[in-house]
Amino acid sequence: MKKIVLCPNARRDGGYACTEQVRSMLEADGCRVVVSPVCDEGGPAAPFETDELESALEGADLLVTLGGDGTILRIAPQVMRHDAPLVGVNLGHTGFLTELDRENVALLRQAAAGRFTPVPRMMLDVEIRRNGQRMFFDTALNDAVISGIVQSVHLTALGDGDRILAFSGDGAIVSSPTGSTAYSMAAGGPLVEPGAEAIVLTPICAHMLAARSFVLGPERTVTIVPADVSDGRRCVLSVDGRGLTDLLDGDEVVVTKSKYRLLMADLGTRSFYETAFEKLGERE
């Protein structure tokens, strides 16, 4: 019996209607379905039994998120330590990471039967080093963003210790190929196929013409060092949008390829290029 874990975003799936539809459909096919809600703080209780994600993932054959890209980003650090492939149902807006929409959830029967291609997505380890000591660590599926609050910041970016750029501006984004279609793209960075391995460094509104996006090899160590963070200037780090961490003068934000990857289930519904043009509104 296949074990399928459903991770609905309670804020997107009102009344858990889509979750109940998928649960009933997969159980009718003989699957064991476990529901582990995401972002359910303060929301209505699920109308069925639920389980914590960490325990639900044990022995899981497939993980299904019902929400948007943010739902996947939120659970990615937990899921990456397990072998269960993930497929997303988009109940949100853009949905670059989600493959299915509410209208074609019936394709989850194909996924539950194992008819998909597993595609590993590269992830990034992000840490803050202060006076030689690690004081923060997280893993990103999309990106690490170093930015000023209200005012511009001065940043130096290094690759394996060699200076790449030093500039003032709104900040810098260090993204994975998956994250290249997110904030990095909006800041002028390139689109990179999600199955590729690379680290993308993109300045945000740099005050110099020579500041361009760099596509670096996956084995590079990218370090961002803020300066002049004083006298009311504030510089922060955000990893996949999960809160803000303040940086001090001389802190080092160190980004490397993670040993973990997020395994996605590709059902072959559309290519990366079709998704990019469709979601960007450039093609009917």
Catalytic residues: 69
Which pair of tokens denotes residue 191? 């689109």
- Please give the full DSSP string across the chain, using - where no structure is assigned: --EEEEEEBTTTSGGGHHHHHHHHHHHHTT-EEEE--BS-TTSPPPSS----HHHHTTT-SEEEEEE-HHHHHHHHHHHTTS---EEEEE-SSS-SS--EEGGGGGGHHHHHTT-SEEEEEEEEEEEEEETTEEEEEEEESSEEEEEESSS-EEEEEEETTEEEEEEEESEEEEE-TGGGGTHHHHTTPPP--TTS--EEEEEES-SSTT---EEE-TT--EEEEEE---TT--EEEEETTS--EEE-TT-EEEEEEEEEEEEEEE--SS-HHHHHHHHTTS--
Which pair of tokens denotes residue 221? 């160590």
CA distance linking residue 45 with residue 36, whole number of Å:
12
